[in-house]
Amino acid sequence: SNIILEEFLFKKSQQKRRTSPCNYKERYFILRKDELAYYEYRHAKKPTLKGSIELSRIKCVEIVRSDVHIPCSFKYPFQVVHDNYCLYVFAPDKDTQQKWVWALKEETKNNNLLNKYHPNFWVDGRWRCCSQTEKLAAGCVEYDP
Ligand code: 4IP
């Protein structure tokens, strides 16, 4: 199989529309050679694919450094920046967070990557790192792939 990593993690809704809800869901993540996919698992049911990101579209993968309250049981966030979106994923511990970030960086190191990124969350209409109020505003810290 071409599976690199697989595990239950939490994710925040990507809020692709201005009206999208802000919620956190437990998903089964699978990192494959060509994509990062997440599935919903429900007891005795076939897992359903909820989303996938082609690895070639990823522009930055990094730990999120923040003191904001995280309203799910997994407290170690990392970000996957792709297209014009940012997927926030939450790991149960530091080792798991580090393992996923490292593997995703490794698989995307030859991509067209960002020079700069946002080390903190986008919340309540602004970046907590640099206070910019435009979601697509250029990053404020050098990205080290
Ligand atoms: C959904 O909320 C889920 O959080 C989706 O996550 C999420 O899609 C949607 O965000 C959000 O509207 P409801 O379940 O309450 O409808 P999942 O697909 O894991 O179920 P993402 O893009 O985060 O996968 P939008 O912005 O994509 O609509």
Could you report the predicted ipTM of this complex, rounded to two decimals? 0.95
3-state secondary structure of 54: strand
Taking CA atoms only, the protein residue closest to ligand 1 atom 15 is: 21
Ligand 1 atom showing the smallest separation from residue 21 Cα = 12
Nearest C-alpha neighbor of 81 from the set 44, 125, 127, 21: 127
- What gap in Å lies between CA 29 and CA 1, rounded to an integer? 15
Compute, in angstroms, the gap from residue 14 CA to the centroid of ligand 1.
7
Q: Is the CB of 52 under 6 A from ligand 1?
A: no
Domains of the chain with CATH codes: 3-115 (2.30.29.30)
pTM value is 0.96
pLDDT in tens, 2-59: 999 999 999 999 999 989 999 999 999 999 999 999 999 999 999 999 999 999 999 9
Q: Is the CB of 21 under 6 A from ligand 1?
A: yes
Ligand 1 atom showing the smallest separation from residue 25 Cα = 19
- What gap in Å lies between CA 128 and CA 118, rounded to an integer? 9
